[in-house]
Amino acid sequence: MKTITVTGRYENLVKLADFVRQIAQEAGLDSFAVYSVETAVEEACTNIIEHAYGGEGKGSIKCSCTVDEAGLTIQLHDKGKPFKPEEVHSPNTKAPLKKRDSHGLGLFIMRKWMDDVRFEFNTESGNTLTMVKYKEHKS
């Protein structure tokens, strides 16, 4: 397992993206899967900064990556406010851009491009988002 911890600041998204991109490439994921992982992590970390912490510099984000024969597992951990994914409505991707709601697209992307997405909340230890990307997509 490889781990990096950064302060919840938007400027650190590049550092997190570079970290997961390198590990995804080492895991043998194809180029679109690497891009998917990078984008999902960026979206998730942006949401942590914006919603869990309510702004920059108010907490840290720990990113842990594990590679196995099946693919890559990423865990993002924060100690911000709990997230309730069931309260986020799926965006209407068929609507014209001007009429689309700006909320919920990040979660939509994470669920669409990753093979497994799970949220866990603990009042003492914080929030953990687990995302999995398989080397070969599993149905």
pLDDT, one tens digit per residue, over 69-114 is 999 999 999 999 998 777 666 655 665 656 655 565 778 889 999 9
CA-based nearest residue to 128, from 75, 72, 49: 75
Question: What's the CA gap between 77 and 79, in Å, rounded?
Answer: 7
Which helix or strand (DSSP H or E) is residue 127 part of? strand 126-134
Q: In this predicted structure, what is the pLDDT of residue 139? A: 47
- Tell me the three state secondary structure of residue 57: coil
In a domain, 30, yes or no: yes
pLDDT over 90 at 44, yes or no: yes
pLDDT over 60 at 31, yes or no: yes
Token output for 86: 């069931």
Q: What is the pTM of this model?
A: 0.88
Please provide the distance, in angstroms rounded to a whole number, between the alpha carbons at the two ends of the chain.
26
For residues 17-25, give the mean pLDDT.
Answer: 97
Domain with 127 in it: 2-134
- At 55-66, the pLDDT tens digits run 999 999 999 999
In a domain, 14, yes or no: yes
Q: What is the tally of structural domains in the chain?
A: 1
Q: In this predicted structure, what is the pLDDT of residue 91? A: 59
In a domain, 139, yes or no: no
Distance of CA 36 to the CA centre of its chain: 10
CATH value at residue 121 = 3.30.565.10
In a domain, 105, yes or no: yes
> 12-26, 85-99, 123-137: which has the minimum mean pLDDT?
85-99
The answer to whether the beta carbons of residues 132 and 73 sit under 8 Å apart is yes
